Structure 1
Amino acid sequence: MPDTGPLAGLRVIDLTAMVMGPYCTQIMADMGAEVIKVEPPQGDNTRYISVGPAPGMSGVFVNVNRGKRSVVLDLRGDDGRAALRALIERADVFIHSMRAKAVTALGFGYDDVAAINPAIVYTNCYGYGRRGPHRDRPAYDDTIQAECGLPAVQKQLTGEADYVGTIIADKVAGLTALYATTMALFHRERTGQGQEVEVAMYETMASFMLVEHANGAMFHPPLGPAVYPRTVAPNRRPYRTKDGYVAALIYNDKHWNAFIGAVRPAWASELYATLETRAHHIDTVYGLVAETMAERTTAEWLALFGELEIPAAPLNSPDALFDDPHLNAVGLFETLDTPHGPVTFPGVPTWFSRTPGRVRGPAPELGADTADVLAELGLTAGGPR
């Protein structure tokens, strides 16, 4: 199939590892870019962190590195560095997740790369921004979740300080790296100018958390703590029904009035009649609704909420998503034949009328494309031909 994605024709040199950077470049590959993943001889550690059909092909790695080409270069040696410089000459984007000191010591800091290719967009994926005192600290999803306040918010919600059950910092930072890089490419399209971009997990997640939680702390003087009360109300959780659970948000006045009119709970009163008054008593409201939800089955509630157009959903497990009728109807999943058997990928979640993306291919074996990519540059593993 021809590449039809909006990034078709773009060449990305990807020196990222783990999830933040690879998730960014996975989406670029899905959207048509040629992504050349440059790996050290031992490979990206993510190759080995979960189950997979073959050594070095873990599920996490296979998903976030699909559609890429793998080139093994030892950047400690002259030949490896020469090959990377040759790749940079023909690239549109250079993206890495090494510490600033390490990438500079190898000779591939922004000034070095821009000297080779002034129009390149150079994206740094860091744990902490270089202008702050934490710039040299290691960062992982768990530590960034802790620093940005997620476990503290979870403690307000559940009584225990917990991480959320997904690597949210890695993925949000990866999406941020994607939009920052494509914005820089848009600027280059208009002006011809390349530039350096920096995306740090901590700053990204602090900004993400404070979208709603900044709240009263934004003002001078502060009007309250940095917290959005609704999201940390202890009774805010899926409602237990007679036979299971249901998620529902009876939020605005239209939803509320429809619910009260249909169910007629004994506790309905003027105190909860408007969004503003409910917001001031939100945990009490959640508790009262929870008591009412226990009176009917999940199917009964979902049917009623459907009639009333109140947002509601059953509780799915991640396994159930693969069989979800809506996700399959919109074509989210793509099954590809790979050297290790069929793989069903959660595919492109966006839709373009003219330039649709797609899963371009399976994840590469370590170094599978080294010889071909070097040949395209007029090089061999031992240097120039």
Structure 2
Amino acid sequence: MSCIPGRPPLKGLRVVDLSTVMFGPFASRWLADYGADVIKVESPEGDSTRTTGVARERGLAGSYITINRNKRSVVLNLKQAAGRDALFKLLDGADVFMHNIRPQKIRALGLDSETIRTRFPRLICVSLTGFSEVGPYSGRPAYDDIIQGMCGLADLMRRQTDEMQYLPTVAADKISGLVGGLAILTALWARERTGEGQAVEVPMFESMVDFTLLEHRGGNAFVPPESGIGYARVLARWRRPYRTLDGYVCLMPYTTAQWERFFTEIGKKELAVDSRFQSMASRTQHIEALYAIVGDAATTRTSQDWLDTCQRLDIPSGPITDLDRVLDDPHLNAVGFFQDLPEADNKGSARLSTPGVRFNGQLPVLHSVSRLGQDTRQVLKEAGLDEGEIEALLSCGAAYESMPQKSEIGK
């Protein structure tokens, strides 16, 4: 598929997404941002993130808008046969069907991959779960905290700080969401070559164990192991922002040449020929001592002095930026990283981040966010239902549509 300037690369792709919270919706957000028509099918209660955190209008919390922009909202009660029949109508014109419902519950609804693909053989059916169905953990509930603990991330924090801690971000949800998006695109490519759909399983636990082990496996990857698990450079307690005369700074000499220039700059040229620091392997072995040297040197100058020095010496460095100041970063503003939704709710706009990935030099356009059930009628009409059928679904509670507000979002 060629990428035409001004045409989103995924335009024409239709995704029916039953997923909620963060994991699945983050995966489908990537597809929606780059042009896919993502139809978010919600229960009558709606995705719980609609009311998680601060909101100016009920059902449109800031976190919901961030994760679910550029999608359309349809409400179907899948506990009713009529609601499931309406979903089948949507799937008849879809390329991807995705959900994060546990295996036993999705089978009870008759929406498991085996059943769906019998009826829609070209459909990509994606199950985003906590654990693979073929293992003993299948069907267990899973949230970010649980997976961070089970995949080893909390233990990495212990190894560095002596205390079990979660990362202060929903890393498992977001990373697994990216894996999910990649898996969907991989399956679509396979269908382009074979004409057949795929049953895709994206388990958080396995995805996060693979992510966590990448650099930490090291010599433990051999049979028998050549070393213990854990990448010393990353786990070193000195691996942190360095305190300067007036704050903190990020310093990262990495290559042998960069270390030689750094040692000369701080008046310790002899360290360049110290056997502990002459190669990547030896530096990794003595990383605590090396980082301690950097930490001591950092305290002798201001942060700006170090940034100027590192730029002169071609040594990677950067300032410490708090989250509030990131929003005003001159580079991000220059590249158009933040975009405004003029009518994010009935009280005004929202300013959201983009993924940053460009196709033919263009960022995705953030154009809309839907209230619960805002698009139900239109999407069902597109699926081939007439007005009488739609009214029947609405009247029996198998479907729901929101009432028009003072300003319809992005319309």
TM-score normalised by the chain length of structure 1:
0.96
Deviations 1:154-211 (A, max 9, x none): 1111222211111110011000000001000001111111010000100000000111
Compared with structure 1, are the counterparts of its residues 4 and 347 closer, same or farther at alpha carbon in structure 2 (3 Å cutoff)? Answer: same
Measured in 1, the distance between the counterparts of 2:32 and 2:20 equals 15
Distance in 2 of aligned mates of 1:48 and 1:240? 40
Opposite residue 93 of structure 2, the aligned amino acid is R
1:315 aligned partner, one-letter code: I
| Runs of at least 4 residues off by over 3 Å | none
Matching residue's letter, 2:390: T
Partner SS for 1:380: helix
Alpha-carbon shift at residue 357 of structure 1 (Å): 4.8
What do residues 233-287 of structure 1 show as CA deviations (whole Å, max 9, x unaligned)?
1111110001100011111102101111222138835132332221111011111
The answer as to 2:370 corresponding to 1:364 is yes
Query: Could you tell which deviates more after superposition, 148-157 or 173-182?
Result: 148-157
Which runs of 5 or more structure 1 residues have no equivalent in the other structure? Answer: none
SS in 2 for 1:234: coil
Aligned to 1:41: 44
Cα distance between partner residues in 1 of 2:373 and 2:250: 46
Report the Cα distance in structure 2 between the residues aligned to 1:333 and 1:238, rounded to whole angstroms.
27
1:210 aligns with 2:213: yes
Name 1:177's counterpart in structure 2.
180
Please, which runs of 5 or more residues in structure 2 have no aligned partner?
A: 396-411
1:309 to partner: Cα distance: 1.2
Please name the residue that 1:123 is paired with.
126
Residue from 159, 162, 178 that aligns with 1:159: 162
Is residue 235 of structure 2 the alignment partner of residue 232 of structure 1?
A: yes
RMSD: 1.7
Cα distance in 1, alignment partners of residues 394 and 119 from structure 2: 18
The AA in structure 1 aligned to 2:171 is: I
Aligned to 1:62: 65
Moved more, 335-344 or 34-43: 335-344
Question: Aligned residue for 1:276?
Answer: 281
Letter of the structure 2 residue corresponding to residue 380 of structure 1: I
1:351 aligns with 2:358: yes
Q: Which residue of 2 aligns with 1:329?
A: 334
1 CA distance for matches of 2:63 and 2:44? 19
Report SS of the residue matched to 1:122. strand
Q: Match for residue 390 of structure 2?
A: 380
Give the secondary structure class of the aligned counterpart of 1:28: helix
Q: Find the aligned partners of 1:76 and 1:42 in 2 and give their Cα distance.
A: 13
Read off the aligned partner of 2:198 and give its amino acid letter: Q
Instruction: Give the distance between the partners of 2:53 and 2:7, measured in 1 at CA.
Output: 32
Structure 1 contact 151–162 (Cα < 8 Å) conserved? yes
Q: Which moved more, 1:51-60 or 1:164-173?
A: 51-60
Q: How does 1:188-207 map to 2 (within 5 A)?
A: 188-207=191-210
> How many residues align structurally?
383
Instruction: Name the aligned partner's letter for residue 287 of structure 1.
Output: A
Q: Which residue identity is paired with 1:291?
A: D
Letter in 2 for 1:307: R
SS at match of 2:41: strand
- Do the aligned partners of residues 384 and 285 (structure 1) sit closer, same or farther apart at CA in structure 2, a change above 3 Å counting? closer
1: distance between equivalents of 2:324 and 2:210?
Answer: 31
Q: Does the alignment pair 1:297 with 2:302?
A: yes
Q: Which residues in structure 2 correspond to 1:233-272 (within 5 Å)?
A: 233-265=236-268, 268=271, 270=274, 271-272=276-277
Question: 1:342 is aligned with what amino acid?
Answer: S
Q: CA deviation at 1:362?
A: 2.6
Partner of 1:99: 102
Q: Deviations over 1:41-74 (max 9, x none)?
A: 0000111111122111111111110010000100
The structural deviation recorded for 1:3 is 7.1
**Does the CA contact (< 8 Å) of 1:19 and 1:171 recur in 2?**
yes
Return the letter of the residue paired with 2:307: L
Partner letter of residue 37 of structure 2? E
Q: Quote the Cα distance in structure 2 between the aligned partners of 1:369 and 1:267.
A: 69
Percent of residue pairs identical: 39
2:57 is the counterpart of 1:50: no
Inter-partner Cα distance in structure 1 for 2:265 and 2:134: 57
After TM superposition, the score normalised by the length of structure 2 is 0.90
Report the counterpart of residue 311 of structure 1 in structure 2. Answer: 316
